[in-house]
Every structure is written in structure tokens, then in C-alpha cells.
């Protein structure tokens, strides 16, 4: 793998690609010219443009770089699983130019110092923009408000409690009131863990057969219902990440219909995995929220199609091999998800669920818009964060083509319908397949 | 996707013989019957003056108990010794895993000592499956109880006991009573009973102790002892652990006993010649009345005795199935 630092300030032309930018309602075959880190022109060459690097994208899609709302880079504190250098490199290889990292680092991302450290490391590596999400309570302990305003000043694009419980509803109410004072987005991962303290998979026939304690649907829907009521009361801008149940899609749809300022995403693997795949105690399928039933999976796909779920994220969680090499209940949850993020989300286009434009909205435009980022589009004069994706290049996911330090994916051996060929971050080549 | 091998496929060699014994799920009627027939041939060994047969002579069997057990561990030890194996008991609380050694490293060390068989009890569901698939595939792995998943040798000794007393399985109604939720024994019993084509399997208990979708395993669910025990030939009581009172599963021992404890009065709902079984250890006055545990219909102590013969059967069959498979692999490579 090529770990050299991306080259800056090259003049690049990407020729003959199908350029898709839903924000400009653009979908046409055109050349894209990049100079000084920005998109200089689409179509005609700027006067006197002389390219340092040309890329022939004939038959390929030229799209805005993906904006991933939930990806662990495991730094600081978990270098055995990955670090900002390895994981942003893997993100670039997955066509991602911007990613948000959740606050469950060690130490917890509840101070300016940790937020600054993460952004500085990402800048040094240069593969992808990393935008931290701050902890909503100190130490994620669910008791004392974090310094949310300071965290925002330090670059956090929102706050989250993740799946760490806030047992006292008053504390949660205060958190939401305080966050809404400063217009901060709250990222929810709704789960009432008191319902499933030991659970490792969906509660159903398979968990009963395998004798694995289950996580019932209501663990998510009870928490989601409470969270929605408090969002309504406080008027905070809320985003619900990685929902897993059909009933959750209904709850979100109802809230949106009532005019609440709420959005939702789903992890791409959630659209492909079901609980019965865990039949052989395979820890690669151990993930939270758990893979649920075929009905849930179908409802999530319908939610993505209808736009109730307007964003697709990776929920990338790399692990070292030892974290998964134990009996199933003793393994750590999570999937190394960058590798399949673009191909399997694109498969929704292949299967007729989404159009190409809708796909780009869900992986780039909508998440960028949510967090107020000038990205997720190919506007002239904007920073050139883009990706070239070849929808005709089939490949098979193997250990050796997982760029992340974590090889923990249940999709090893699976055929992938399309591949990231080239990624530019602020006009610099952050990934090029032919050189990888 | 990563291939996952369901336990019931992993435990058979290409000829369909046991090479591990991980679960009773998915085993054919013929194989289940073969285990019972083999056990039958070993019952007399315990009555001989010299209680040994040479089937596992020169083999090393390691008892790996990550969870406390007296009865199961001793019967496995006796079974292996009566088959003339060398037996090693590993006491996990004082072993290396408490010094931070991973399960895999520990098992690889034992494998390096040329162990032929691991008898594993573990609190995590799927641990023996994990060992058989990923850690030591050439060692025969016997599941001596994993989490809530399976306890297949206990289930087979229960099947043996039922066959001894009732003969043919096809016309029998069997009721399993109590804490099904936490019971690996109940799951293995249901699979074994279904595999042996029993008439009807019922489970009886309050909803808090019956796991979701348990009917998909092929059991009928009852919440009432009078209805559930009607016309049954076999009553299997499960142990109720005292911790369950603290986790909001039950209000009190006395209410559980009143509703689901097996008393002489409740036993009268079953057929007059019904037998009473219990995997042990029993809690008198919690799930079973003392008088019932000691009555003529109770076969609880015979279960313990048959346990040795059934485990001898499983150990010898798995060792031979695994040896044959490894020999075939080596032969193929040569």
C-alpha cells in the first residue's frame, strides 16, 4: 500500500467521465478540470490550462467525495485497532473525503485538546478531512454536561452520547436544551441498554437456538420514542444514526411528518445482513445495532428509497484480529466497513432502489448539508473533493484489499459491483487504485 | 460472505460420523440411535470387576472446565478412564487465562502437548464450536455445556434414560418444566427429542422464563402445569437458579413453587406411569417436592449412572470419527 503523503497543488483533468452532482442537477459526460485545489471548470478547459496529471474516466462516474457521518479512526487510545493515518487512508480508498468520528476515543472526546489532536493528525496525514463529534456528557458518563460550546469552537460538528446510557431523563433534557442554545446538532444512537444488558444479536428464533442473549427491537424503539419526545420539546436539531428496525423507520417518518427537525441514517451493512446469518457463531457478524430480520432489512431499504432515511453511513469500526478471535459473546462488536461502503451502497442503484443521483445525495450531498459543510457537491470554485467510481469493475473483497487496519468484515469473499478508482481531497490525489 | 459452518455440520466427518460433539441439533435419527445403542453396550462395563475397555488407550483427553461443575466433570473423567485414556483436568481459575493468556494461546499449548480430545465447558455460547472450527480442528471437541446454547451429552443421557424406561419415542409426550430461558439442557433435549421423532415436546413455564420464538425449535409452549402435564409420559424438571429472583424474572421462590414446582398433586396430571427426570443438581422445595424427587417414578439417580455410559459412547465415537478423518487427510496429502 502506498502511504506516501498526497501531492498538493497539481493541475488535474479527469476526462470523459459521467459527472453527477445532484446539487447542480448535473448528470452528463464531461471533463473536470482541477487547479489550485479547486474545481476550475466542468466541460471546457480553462484558458491556458496545462494538466500535470490526466485521468481517463471513460465509463466511470465522477461524483462528490463521500461524507461519512460515523467512522471510528481509533485515535487516540486504540492504536491496536487503527489510527488516523491508516483509517483516513482506508477512507480515501473508499471514496470518502470527509468523515465524522464519534467521541468514544480514549480519552473521551470531551475536551478541546482531544478535538484538536484528531484534526491535527488528520491534517498531517492529508487523506481525508476528519470532523470530530464531541461527547454530550463528560466522559460519556451520562451525568454532567460537557463543554459543548468549547467543543464546537474546537471544530466539533455536533455532540453525541452514542450508546452510552443517560439513565436520568432530566439530564438528557438539559443536554438537549443546552445543545439547542448554540444550535448544535445532537447525534443519537438510540438504545435502551437496560433491556438487553448481555445482548449480542437480535432477539429471535436464531438467538434462541444459539442460546445467545438477544437485543429485542424495543431496546431501540423505546429509546427512540423517548428521544423524539424530548427533541420535540426542546426543538434541538437531531440526527438519528444507524437505526436498525422497521418500527424505527415509522417513528422517524411520523416525526418528520409532524414537522420535527430530525434526520436519520443507516449503516450500509444493515441493508444486507440479517440475524439468521450468525448461524455458525461467526463473530464477523457481531455488530451493534444487531442485524435484524428480513422484514426490518426490507423496511430500511424502503426508508432509504423514500428518503425518510436520507443518509447512508459506514459505521466503520476496525478491530484487531484478537478482538474477534474468541467465542461470539466475548468478542467486540463492529464491522470494518469502509471497503464495502461505496460498492454495496451503489448496489442499490444496480437493484433499482435508487437512481445514481439519489445515491450521491445519500452518501455525499445530504450528510454535507446536514452538518453545514461546503462539500458533497462539484460546484465551480469549490474545493475539489471528489471520487471516480467505476460501476463496471467487479471485484471480490479479500483480506489483502481491505485497506483499513481492521480486517473484520463479514463480506470477505463477496462480489462487489464497482470500485473506487481515484479520490481527490482538496484537489490532491488521496487515492489512486492503479498505484495502490 | 465469510463461510459460517453451522455446528451440526462441523461436528461430522465426510462419512457422516461424529468427529466432534457440539450439539444434538440436526443429527439424524440413525446417528442419535447409534449413540444410544453404543451407550447400551457400555452400561455393563461399570458392573465388571475391572471397569475398563481399551478403546482410547494411549489417547489424551483434556477436561477443560471454564465453569464450575462436579457431576459432569467427574462423569466425563470416569468415562474417559474406563475407556483407558489418559485424562488431564485443567483447573481454569488457577490457569493461565487468569494471567491474561488468550483462550487461543492456551488451547494451542495444550494441542502442542499432543492432546487428542478436549472436553469443554464454557460460559459463552458457541465456545466449543469456536475451538473446533478456528483453534484446534484436528482435536476432537466435546461440548460439556456452553452458555445457554447446548449440553448435548446431558440430553443424550436423558434420551437413554427415556428409552430405558419407555422404549419407543414415537408415541411419547415429553414435558420440560421451568427455567427454559437459561437452560442449555432444554435446548439440547428438544433437538434430540425431535430428532428421535418423539410424539410431542412441551415446555412449561412463565413467559419470563421461555425465550422468544421457542416454538420454532419444535416445542409446544404451555404456561399452566395442569394443561401442560396432561397425558405426558416424561416430566423433565429444570433447575431454577436462585439468582433469577434478583433479575425481575420471578417474584419469589414460593410463587414459582406454587405454580410450577413439581408436587405430588401436579404429577397426578401426568400419566400414572410417567417418569420424573432432572439434570441436577436439584433444589428440593424450589422446583421439585422432596417426596417427588425420591418417589418411585423418579429416575434422577439412574440418569447420573447412565451418564457415564453415554459419555463413553460419545467419546469413543468422536475419537474414531476424528481419527479416521485426520488419517484420510494425511493419506490424501501423501
Contacts of A214 in chain B (CB under 8 A): 211-212
Tell me if A29 sits within 8 A of A19, measured CB to CB. yes
pLDDT of residue B52: 87
Distance, C-alpha B28 to centroid of its chain: 17
CB pair distance less than 8 Å for B4 and A210: no
Cβ-Cβ contacts under 8 Å for A187 (sequence gap 6 or more) = A69, A70, A102, A133, A158, A159, A160, A239, A241
Residue A228 · residue A255 · CB < 8 Å: yes
- Helix pair angle (B29-43, B184-195), 10° resolution: 110
Q: How confident is the model at residue A7 (pLDDT cuts 50, 70, 90)?
A: low
Pick the CATH number of A65-370 from 3.40.50.2020, 3.90.380.10, 3.30.390.30, 3.20.20.140: 3.20.20.140
Three-class SS state of A71: strand
**Spatial distance between the Cα atoms of B42 and B29, rounded to a whole number of angstroms:** 20
- Taking CB atoms and an 8 Å limit, are A280 and B133 in contact across chains? yes
CB-based contact A13:A49 (threshold 8 Å) = yes
Q: Which of A208, A327, A410 sits opposite B124 (nearest CB)?
A: A327
Contact A327 B146 (CB under 8 A): yes
Q: Where are the alpha helices (DSSP H) in A52-164?
A: 84-93, 112-125, 148-153
Of A203, A211, A285, Cβ closest to residue B148: A211
Quote the CA–CA distance of A336 and B147 in Å, as a whole number: 27
Q: How far is CA A129 from CA A88, A101, A275, A429, B316, in A?
A: 8, 10, 34, 13, 61
Q: What is the mean pLDDT of residues A229-245?
A: 97
Give pLDDT tens digits for A170-182: 999 999 999 999 9
Do the beta carbons of residue B179 and residue B241 sit within 8 Å? yes
DSSP letters spanning B122-170: ESSTTHHHHIIIII-TTSEEEEEEETTTB-HHHHHHHHHHHHHHH--ST
pLDDT, mean over chain A: 95
Check B6 against A280: CB less than 8 A apart: yes
What integer pLDDT is reported at residue A3 of this predicted model?
A: 47
Label residue A6 by pLDDT band (50, 70, 90).
low
Q: For residue A229, how many other CB atoms are within 10 A of its CB?
A: 13
Backbone torsion region of residue A82, taken as left when φ is above 0, otherwise alpha when ψ lies between -120 and 50, otherwise beta: left
Whole-number pLDDT of residue B332: 75
- The Cα–Cα gap between B316 and B48 comes to 19
Hey, is the C-beta of B266 within 8 angstroms of any chain A C-beta? no
Q: What is the pLDDT of residue B334?
A: 47
Q: Do A328 and B213 touch (CB under 8 A)?
A: no
| Interface contact flag, B149 A211, Cβ < 8 Å | yes
Cα–Cα–Cα angle for A307, A97, A85, rounded to 5 degrees: 130
Cβ contact, residue pair B7, A329, below 8 Å: no
Q: What's residue B274's pLDDT?
A: 97
- In a 13 Å sphere around the CA of A201, the CA atoms on its Cβ side amount to 30
Backbone φ and ψ for A405, nearest 5 degrees, come out as: -65, -30
Q: Is the pLDDT confidence value at A187 over 60?
A: yes
Q: Is A198 on the interface with B (CB under 8 A)?
A: no
Rounded to a whole number of angstroms, the distance from the CA of B5 to the nearest CA of chain A is 5
In a 10 Å sphere around its CB, with 0-12 CB exposed, 13-18 middle and 19+ buried, how is residue A415 labelled? Answer: exposed
Q: Does B124 touch chain A (CB under 8 A)?
A: yes
Q: Say if the Cβ atoms of A214 and B129 lie within 8 Å.
A: no
B216/A209 CB distance under 8 A? yes
Cβ-contact A149, A113 below 8 angstroms: no
The beta strands (E) that lie in chain B are given as 60-65, 86-91, 117-122, 140-146, 173-177, 200-204, 220-222, 234-237, 275-277
The CA-atom distances, in angstroms, between B162 and each of A177, B147, B264, B276, B298 are 65, 25, 21, 10, 12
* Of B288, B290, B177, nearest in space to B236 by CA: B177
Distance from CA of A242 to the nearest CA of B (A): 21
- Name the residue of chain A whose CA is nearest to B216's CA: A205
Comparing CA positions, the residue from B16, B9, B131, B161 lying closest to residue B62 is B131
User: Which has more confidence, B49 or A142?
Assistant: A142
3-state secondary structure of A2: coil
The helix (run of H) or strand (run of E) holding residue A21 is strand A12-21
User: Within chain A, which residue ranges are assigned CATH 3.20.20.140?
Assistant: 65-370
Tens digits of residue pLDDT in A294-339? 999 999 999 999 999 999 999 999 999 999 999 999 999 999 999 9
In chain A, ranges of CATH 2.30.40.10 domains: 12-62+382-435
Q: Is the pLDDT of residue A359 over 90?
A: yes
Judge contact between A136 and A156, C-beta under 8 A: no
Domains and CATH numbers, chain B: 7-149+305-333 (3.40.50.1370), 152-299 (3.40.50.1370)
Residue B3 touches chain A, beta carbons under 8 Å? yes
A200 touches chain B (CB under 8 A): no
A211 touches chain B (CB under 8 A): yes
**Cβ-nearest to B184 among A211, A279, A327:** A211
Report CB contact under 8 Å: A330, B124. Answer: yes
Q: What percent of chain A has pLDDT over 90?
A: 95
Determine whether domain A12-62+382-435 maps to CATH 2.30.40.10: yes
Rounded mean pLDDT of A275-282?
91
- Confidence at residue A79, expressed as pLDDT on a 0 to 100 scale: 96
Q: What is the ipTM of this complex?
A: 0.91
Question: Residues of chain B whose pLDDT is less than 70?
Answer: 1-4, 7-8, 93-100, 333-334
Chain B contact for A199, CB < 8 A? no
Report pLDDT for A2.
46
CB pairs under 8 A between A and B: 100
pTM: 0.93
Task: Give the mean model confidence (pLDDT) for residues A58-87.
Answer: 97
Distance from CA of A91 to the nearest CA of B (A): 21
Residues 6+ apart with CB under 8 A from B217: A205, A208, A209, B187, B190, B191, B194
In this prediction, residue A92 has a pLDDT band, given cuts at 50, 70 and 90, of very high
CA distance B288 to B39: 28
Residue of A201, A202, A275, A280 best to disrupt the B interface, most CBs of B under 10 A: A280
Query: Cα A170 from chain centroid?
Result: 30
Is the minimum CB–CB distance between B134 and chain A shorter than 8 Å? yes
Q: Does B1 touch chain A (CB under 8 A)?
A: yes
Q: Where does residue B84 fall: left (phi above 0), alpha (psi -120 to 50 degrees), or beta otherwise?
A: left
Taking CA–CA distances from A210, the nearest residue in chain B reads B149
Q: Are B197 and B29 in contact (CB under 8 A)?
A: yes
User: Nearest CA of chain A to the CA of B248: how many Å?
Assistant: 12
Query: Tell me: the pLDDT tens digits for B30-39?
Result: 999 999 999 9
Amino acid at each position: 500500500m502506498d502511504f506516501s503523503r498526497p501531492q498538493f497543488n497539481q493541475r488535474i483533468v479527469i476526462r470523459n467521465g459521467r459527472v453527477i452532482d445532484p446539487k447542480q442537477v448535473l448528470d452528463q459526460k464531461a471533463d473536470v478540470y482541477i487547479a489550485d485545489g479547486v474545481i476550475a471548470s466542468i466541460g471546457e478547459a480553462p484558458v491556458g490550462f496545462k494538466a500535470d496529471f490526466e485521468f481517463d474516466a471513460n465509463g466511470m462516474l465522477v461524483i462528490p467525495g463521500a461524507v461519512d457521518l460515523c467512522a471510528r479512526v481509533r485515535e487516540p487510545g486504540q492504536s491496536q485497532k487503527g489510527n488516523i493515518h491508516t483509517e483516513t487512508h482506508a477512507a480515501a480508498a473508499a471514496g470518502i473525503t470527509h468523515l465524522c468520528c464519534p467521541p468514544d476515543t480514549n480519552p473521551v472526546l470531551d475536551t478541546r485538546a482531544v478535538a484538536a489532536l484528531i484534526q491535527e493528525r488528520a491534517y498531517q496525514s492529508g487523506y481525508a478531512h476528519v470532523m470530530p463529534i464531541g461527547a454530550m456528557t463528560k466522559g460519556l458518563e451520562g451525568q454532567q454536561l460537557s463543554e459543548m460550546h468549547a467543543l464546537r469552537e474546537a471544530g466539533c460538528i455536533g455532540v453525541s452520547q452514542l450508546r452510552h446510557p443517560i439513565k436520568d431523563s432530566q439530564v438528557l433534557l438539559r443536554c438537549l436544551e443546552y445543545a439547542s442554545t448554540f444550535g448544535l446538532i445532537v447525534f443519537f444512537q438510540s438504545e435502551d441498554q437496560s433491556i438487553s444488558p448481555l445482548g449480542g444479536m437480535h432477539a429471535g428464533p436464531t438467538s434462541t437456538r444459539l442460546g445467545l442473549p438477544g437485543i429485542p427491537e424495543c431496546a431501540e424503539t423505546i429509546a427512540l420514542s423517548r428521544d423524539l419526545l424530548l427533541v420535540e420539546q426542546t426543538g434541538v436539531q437531531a440526527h438519528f444514526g444507524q437505526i436498525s428496525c422497521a418500527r424505527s423507520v415509522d417513528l422517524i417518518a411520523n416525526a418528520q411528518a409532524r414537522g420535527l427537525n430530525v434526520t436519520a441514517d443507516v449503516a450500509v451493512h444493515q441493508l444486507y445482513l440479517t440475524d439468521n446469518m450468525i448461524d455458525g457463531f461467526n463473530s464477523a457478524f457481531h455488530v451493534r445495532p444487531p442485524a435484524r430480520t428480513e422484514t426490518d432489512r426490507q423496511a430500511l431499504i424502503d426508508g432509504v428509497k423514500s428518503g425518510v432515511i436520507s443518509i447512508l453511513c459506514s459505521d466503520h469500526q476496525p478491530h484487531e484480529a484478537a478482538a474477534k478471535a474468541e467465542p461470539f459473546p466475548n468478542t467486540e462488536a463492529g464491522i470494518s466497513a469502509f471497503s464495502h461502503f461505496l460498492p454495496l451502497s451503489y448496489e442499490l442503484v444496480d437493484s433499482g432502489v435508487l437512481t445514481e443521483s439519489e445515491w450521491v445525495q445519500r452518501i455525499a450531498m445530504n450528510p454535507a448539508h446536514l452538518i453545514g459543510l461546503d462539500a458533497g457537491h462539484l460546484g465551480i470554485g469549490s474545493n475539489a473533493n471528489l471520487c471516480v467510481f467505476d460501476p463496471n469493475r467487479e471485484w471480490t473483497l479479500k483480506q489483502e484489499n481491505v485497506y483499513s487496519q481492521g480486517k473484520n468484515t463479514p463480506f470477505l469473499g463477496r462480489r462487489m459491483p464497482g470500485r473506487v478508482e481515484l479520490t481527490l481531497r482538496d484537489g490532491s490525489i488521496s487515492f489512486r487504485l492503479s498505484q495502490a | 460472505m465469510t463461510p459460517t459452518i453451522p455446528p451440526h455440520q462441523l461436528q461430522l466427518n465426510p462419512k457422516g460420523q461424529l468427529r466432534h460433539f457440539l450439539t444434538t441439533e440436526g443429527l439424524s435419527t440413525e446417528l442419535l440411535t447409534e449413540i444410544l445403542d453404543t451407550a447400551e453396550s457400555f452400561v455393563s462395563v461399570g458392573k465388571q470387576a475391572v471397569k475398563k475397555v481399551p478403546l482410547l488407550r494411549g489417547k489424551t483427553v483434556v477436561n477443560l472446565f471454564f465453569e464450575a461443575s462436579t457431576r459432569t466433570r467427574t462423569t466425563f473423567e470416569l468415562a474417559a478412564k474406563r475407556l483407558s485414556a489418559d485424562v488431564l483436568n485443567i483447573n481454569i481459575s488457577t490457569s493461565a487465562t487468569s494471567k491474561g493468556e488468550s483462550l487461543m494461546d492456551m488451547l494451542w499449548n495444550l494441542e502442542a502437548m499432543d492432546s487428542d480430545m478436549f472436553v469443554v465447558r464454557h460460559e459463552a455460547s458457541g465456545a466449543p464450536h469456536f475451538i473446533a472450527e478456528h483453534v484446534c480442528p484436528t482435536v476432537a471437541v466435546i461440548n460439556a455445556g456452553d452458555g445457554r446454547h447446548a449440553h448435548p451429552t446431558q440430553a443424550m443421557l436423558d434420551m437413554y434414560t427415556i428409552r430405558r424406561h419407555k422404549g419407543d419415542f414415537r408415541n411419547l409426550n415429553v414435558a420440560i418444566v421451568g427455567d427454559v430461558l437459561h437452560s442449555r439442557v432444554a435446548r439440547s433435549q428438544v433437538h434430540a427429542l425431535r430428532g428421535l421423532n418423539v410424539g410431542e415436546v412441551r415446555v412449561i413455564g412463565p413467559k419470563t422464563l421461555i425465550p422468544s420464538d421457542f416454538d420454532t425449535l419444535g416445542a409446544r409452549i404451555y404456561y399452566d402445569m395442569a394443561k401442560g402435564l396432561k397425558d405426558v409420559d416424561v416430566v423433565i424438571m429444570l433447575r431454577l437458579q436462585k439468582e433469577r429472583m434478583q433479575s425481575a424474572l420471578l417474584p419469589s421462590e414460593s410463587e414459582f413453587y406454587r405454580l410450577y414446582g413439581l408436587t405430588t398433586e401436579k404429577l397426578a396430571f401426568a400419566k400414572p406411569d410417567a417418569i420424573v427426570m432432572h439434570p441436577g443438581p436439584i433444589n428440593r422445595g424450589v422446583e421439585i417436592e422432596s417426596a417427588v424427587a425420591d418417589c418411585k417414578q423418579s429416575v434422577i439417580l439412574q440418569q447420573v449412572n447412565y451418564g457415564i455410559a453415554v459419555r463413553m459412547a460419545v467419546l469413543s465415537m468422536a475419537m474414531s470419527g476424528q481419527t479416521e478423518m485426520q488419517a484420510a487427510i494425511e493419506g490424501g496429502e501423501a
